[in-house]
Chain A
Amino acid sequence: MSYDVPPVEGEVEAEANEGTAGEFPLWEVFVRADRGLNHVHAGSLHAPDAETAARNARDVYTRRQEGVSVWVVPSSAIYASDPDDREAWFDSEKPYRHPTFYELPDEVGHM
């Protein structure tokens, strides 16, 4: 448990809520680990503006040379696919798209 403190008096459950008006917006952080690689999602953080978000992303997500470049994107700008559509979107099997679908004689060798 370590961080899982047993229930005691005075503790209450957190309710889902939107946060206060003064709360900094949320940014998604993408880090490029090295030249030649994609920027990959590393996490998120709150910051008042893009420049501060990028600076803070450097401190929060690249303390050990994990990156050579960071992007920050307002979380509100990301539109995500609906998990309920997953089957319709992603699960259709089309084995003929894969090379292993085709059986060729051994003499052909590697192809």
Chain B
Amino acid sequence: MSETTTNNQAVDESTDPDLQAEFDARLAADQKVEPRDWMPEKYRKTMIRQIAQHAHSEIIGQQPEGNWITRAPTLKRKAILMAKVQDEAGHGLYLYSAAETLGVSRDELMDMLHTGRQKYSSIFNYPTLSWADMGAVGWLVDGAAITNQVMLTRTSYGPYARAMIRICKEESFHQRQGYEIMLTLCNGTEAQKAMAQDALDRWWWPSLAMFGPPDAESTHTAQSVAWKIKRETNDELRQKFVDMTVPQAEILGLTIPDPDLEWDAEAGHYRFGEIDWDDFWQVVKGNGPCNRERIAHKTKAWDDGAWVRQAAVQHTRRASQASPSENLVLSPSDAGAA
């Protein structure tokens, strides 16, 4: 997904009215912005920020579920969970590549994550306390992610939109396996069903908060909508998620922990209670239950792997000195077959 940023990267600080007009016309015509097109610096920066945060979220998002791989109840569940966590690593990689098309390097992005200069979704700063959390996370957190990501398949920046299409194809497995875990627990013993209810109780509100502050307080949503980076607002997406999820909870026979939740027949939507935004902001600002642990774990893995990366670079250098043409594995006839 680098889409060749290699020559004439269009980094242009000037605001040439012709270029600006061309950019505006492209957005108005619902055409994608591609890496080497001229774009306003603010658009580029906003895009880098959002794609990087998204990538970091996928990568850090491996930790809450990775936590249960060794304790999965069956071999089948273990294999499924490993496949899901591996997908999340893949999602992170697609997205880092998309961010790099905008002129930032992978190393810089890693460093910004490790030093807290860029953020990731707050949802991954909550702990996964029981096996039922693997169900709740797949069902609710991946469910919320899908709601957001389906919208982003139509985002205005081409490489980001293409990464989203690939990701969305993989996400529905994530949500379904999570829901199936919940279903199995809910059809099990009383204790198992209680475990599922407890997981729902803990993950429900953070999942709603995951869509971000209400539109009225969300300072940068309007610009993102104007640039067609986002096609729907935080509140619209949150409502969509609630409407979709409440009936799914009913099928499980679980109770959503919101006394104010009710069906508004006239509007055709569920009305829900007030989100605890103080808690949300605490977690965003770094004071959630797992913020420090997540970054410490990520940084340690990066540092522990440093010698492997160095050795790989050395190995490549020596190998290319020994036989410079070793990497040319395609014969001309192979290439012609394309």
Contacts and interface: CB of A to CB of B under 8 A. Distances in A.
Interface of A: 1-20, 22-24, 26, 28, 38-39, 43-46, 48-52, 59-60, 63-64, 71, 75-76, 78-80, 82-83
A6 B218 contact: yes
Contact of B309 (A6, A11, A24): A24
B116 A1 contact: no
B108 A19 contact: yes
Given A18-B105, A49-B316, A1 B230 contact: yes
A75 B4 contact: yes
B48 A14 contact: yes
Interface residues of B, number: 81
Nearest to A50: B327
Contact of A8 (B37, B148, B285, B315): B285
B49 A44 contact: no
Contacts of B220: 6-7
A22 B112 contact: no
B118 A4 contact: no
B330 A71 contact: yes
Contacts of A3: 50, 53-54, 57, 120-121, 145, 148
Nearest to A53: B327
B1 A2 contact: no
18 contacts: A1-B148, A2-B121, A3-B148, A4-B50, A4-B224, A4-B230, A5-B53, A5-B119, A5-B121, A14-B52, A39-B338, A48-B309, A48-B313, A48-B315, A78-B4, A80-B4, A82-B36, A83-B34
B313 A1 contact: no
Interface in B96-121: 97, 100, 102-109, 112, 116-121
B53 A80 contact: no
Contacts of B331: none
Contacts of B285: 8-9
B156 interface: no
B208 to A, nearest CB: 11
Residue in A5, A10, A24, A80 whose Cβ sees the most chain B Cβ within 10 Å: A5
B122 interface: yes
Contacts of B145: 2-3
Contacts of B121: 2-3, 5
Contacts of A39: 338
B106 A49 contact: no
A5 B122 contact: yes
A8 B90 CA distance: 27
9 A-B pairs with the lowest CB-CB distances in the bound complex, closest first: A19-B105, A1-B212, A2-B148, A44-B2, A16-B103, A3-B54, A48-B312, A43-B1, A5-B119
A102 B338 CA distance: 33
A60 B90 CA distance: 5
A22 B310 CA distance: 7
A10 B224 CA distance: 22
B197 interface: no
Contacts of A80: 4, 6-7, 36
